Each structure stands twice: as C-alpha cells, then as structure tokens.
Amino acid sequence: MDTSKPADFKLPEDCQDMREVRTGVDTTDRELMELLDRRFGYMRAAARIKTDRKVVRDEARKTEVIENARADAEKRDLPAGKIAQIWDDLVETSIAYELGEWDRLKG
C-alpha cells in the first residue's frame, strides 16, 4: 500500500484553510481506495479458497461485520447508523464481487 502523502498534507486539527482540508480529504480518499483494493483482494482469496459457491453468502458473518462497524463508529462518535448502511452496501458489493470471482475461477 502506498502511504505517501503530499508535502502539504495536514491532519484535520492542523488545517488552517479549505485548501488544506481538501488536500486532506483527497489524500484520505486515495488511502481508502487502497484499503478497498486490499479488502477486495481478500474477496478474491475467499473465492479461490472456498470449494462451494453456496458458502459465499454467509448472513451471520455479514451481520457480524456490519455490527462491528456500527460499534466502532459509535466508539468514535461517528454517525453509526449511516456507517452501518455504508457497510451493508460494502458487504453486499463484496459478496457480488466474490461470486463473480468464484464463477470466473470455478464456474
């Protein structure tokens, strides 16, 4: 993962103007994409490892992942309900991606 930041990157508490805020947001968005790329790499690994397409969807695991995100958001005083919705979309997208990879590899 490329963790390099622009020379003018500042943490939120150090920002003095909107240019610095925007640089921080853009940098953070690139870092989030790198993390998503890694997360979807795990979906590719799961598709490679699982021997039965029927086990790709695991509702108990989905619930666990979303509740973990909700609890973490609450601890951070972030909008937990909205973050849980984002995680629901993320997990559903991950499942669809994994199914596609499973089919590509084994279908």
Feature table: binding site:
22, 39, 50, 98
Q: Spell out the SS3 assignment of 34-71.
A: HHHHHHHHHHHHHHHHCCCHHHCCCHHHHHHHHHHHHH
Feature table: binding site for substrate:
22, 39, 50, 98
Sequence ranges of the domains in the chain: 12-106
- Sorted by sequence, the CB contacts under 8 Å of residue 70 that are 6+ apart come out as 80, 81, 83, 84, 87
Cβ–Cβ under 8 Å, residues 102 and 43:
no
Cβ–Cβ under 8 Å, residues 48 and 105:
yes
Encode the chain (107 residues) as per-residue pLDDT tens digits: 666 899 999 999 999 999 999 999 999 999 999 999 999 999 999 999 999 999 999 999 999 999 999 999 999 999 999 999 999 999 999 999 999 999 999 98
CATH superfamily of 12-106: Chorismate mutase (1.20.59.10)
